Amino acid sequence: MMKHEDMGVSRPAETRSFGARDWFIVFLLVMASIQCIRGCYCVNSSSLDWRTYAHGTAKLPYQGRVGMIGVLRWAEGSPLMIRGAAKLDRMDVGRYPEPMTVEKFTSLLAAILSMLLMLAFMIRFSLRHGYRPWWLPSVLMLAISFITLSVRCESMEWTPYDVPQALLFGVAVLCALDRQWYFVLPLFMVDVPWRETSIFLIAVCVPLFYTSEAVAWRQSRVRTIQTALLAVGMGTYWALVRHAIQVRYAHNGNDAYIHYSNNIHALMLPHHWPQMLGAGGYFLVFIVLERSLASPRQRLILYSFLVCLPVILLYGVWVELRIWIEWTLPWSAIAASELQSHLRAGPETPKGYVLS
């Protein structure tokens, strides 16, 4: 069992039943989660025809994120999903920037389910570690999600796979933080086909694995060998799966060029800066500045993210806030822990101010 002080939470978790007030808060969180996804998938449009993705003819890197191919192909042949998409399109005719196709309808439902599962895992994480109030990590998760998915005026697009992949990646990091390694590797194996950035799990999990035991043991030769085997095994699996996908769709064409011109344009013109920062800037800056309030293992996640940051900035379009989406759950957990530590430290009087 994890020590609670490792999470930056000094108070142990308490076992108690939810009352009516708690369930009402859960209801509000569920409604906010659904609205966050609707704000992205219903209002935004897509520059890609996802029928081509379902049938394997879209360009890379979109086609290479194969996690939703089977789901969309099934939905195209499902009378229930076809009727559902048509009914929703008729109910809100004229409100959407594009028709509610069966692919978009299915992606909407998959994203809602994924977001609700993220909420469930965030609540479980909070109760497990005794956060007060228990809904604090969930609210921070929703704040990050709204900025990332809904509060956008540039690059207003939706994709089928981003939110499900954020669920897989985020839950894997939380399990690694909790030393639940029997969940981490299966989640990593499922996550790899969904998105190339699943490789970031190696950067997060390897240092957490190495520090998961007592100091004397983790410095031993056996621990070093085990950690090396974990890193090599995860890296080999990732490389084989991604290579197989690239070979399978090698003739599809590729849009995975480095977006230098777009990013330089966004950097030079200040009106791009508010969205360019987004959740990845607004939250990360605060988390890093207050990192002394996080636990050592949480700080390892921050340092692991900084290792991944150059890759994100090199290959991502900076005004597309989806480039940060897989870090939603880890950042929510760390930010909540820092806030808990700050609140429990008691009020401070800023220098130069006098409290009357």
Secondary structure string (H, E, C) spanning 135-187: CHHHHHHHHHHHHHHHCCCCCCECCCCHHHHHHHHHHHHHHHHCCCHHHHHHH
Domain of residue 291 covers 4-342
Count of the separate structural domains present in the chain: 1
Does pTM top 0.75 for this prediction?
yes
Residue 255 lies in a domain: yes
Residue 293 lies in a domain: yes
Predicted confidence (pLDDT) per residue in 296-325, tens digit: 899 999 999 999 999 988 888 888 888 899
The confidence band for 215, taking pLDDT boundaries of 50, 70 and 90, is: very low
pLDDT above 70 coverage of the chain, percent: 89
The residue that leads in pLDDT, 240 or 20, is: 240
The confidence band for 34, taking pLDDT boundaries of 50, 70 and 90, is: very high
Distance CA 279, CA 285 (A): 10
Under a CB-based contact definition with an 8 Å cutoff, are residues 283 and 335 in contact?
yes
The residue that leads in pLDDT, 32 or 96, is: 32
Residue 348 lies in a domain: no
DSSP 320: -
DSSP 9: -
Q: Is the dihedral of CA 239, 242, 307, 287 positive or negative?
A: negative
Predicted confidence (pLDDT) per residue in 78-107, tens digit: 999 999 999 888 886 656 778 889 999 999
Residue 195 lies in a domain: yes
pLDDT at 220: 75
What is the enclosing helix (H) or strand (E) of 10?
none
The residue that leads in pLDDT, 240 or 48, is: 240
Residue 351 lies in a domain: no
Residue 356 lies in a domain: no
What's the mean pLDDT when you consider all of the chain?
Answer: 86
Predicted confidence (pLDDT) per residue in 243-271, tens digit: 999 999 999 888 877 778 888 988 999 99
Predicted confidence (pLDDT) per residue in 140-161, tens digit: 999 999 999 988 888 888 999 9
Predicted confidence (pLDDT) per residue in 41-76, tens digit: 888 888 888 999 999 999 988 999 999 999 999 999
pLDDT at 3: 45
Residue 349 lies in a domain: no
Residue 350 lies in a domain: no
Under a CB-based contact definition with an 8 Å cutoff, are residues 71 and 109 in contact?
no
